[in-house]
Amino acid sequence: MPEIRFTKDHEYVRVDGDVGTVGISDHAQQQLGDLVFVELPAVGAKLDKGAGAAVVESVKAASDVFAPVSGVVVAVNGEVDAEPGLINQDALGRGWIFKIKLADRKQLDALMGQSDYEAFLKTLA
- Non-local (6+) Cβ contacts of 84 within 8 A are 35, 36, 37, 38, 56, 57
- Judge whether 125 lies within some domain: no
What is the average pLDDT across 102-111?
A: 96
Average pLDDT over residues 67-91: 97
Q: What percent of the chain has pLDDT over 90?
A: 94
Tally the C-alpha atoms within 13 A of residue 51's C-alpha that lie toward its C-beta: 12
How many domains is the chain built from?
A: 1
d(CA 46, CA 111): 20
Task: Read off φ and ψ for residue 62, nearest 5 degrees.
Answer: -105, 145
The answer to whether position 78 is within a domain reads yes
Tell me the Cα Rg of the chain: 13
**How big is the CA angle at 63 (ends 65 and 79), to the nearest 5 degrees?**
65
Global pTM reads 0.96
3-state secondary structure of 40: coil
Is the Cβ–Cβ distance between 23 and 95 less than 8 Å? yes
pLDDT of residue 24: 98
CATH number at residue 60: 2.40.50.100
Question: Which residue range(s) make up the domain with 96?
Answer: 3-105+112-120
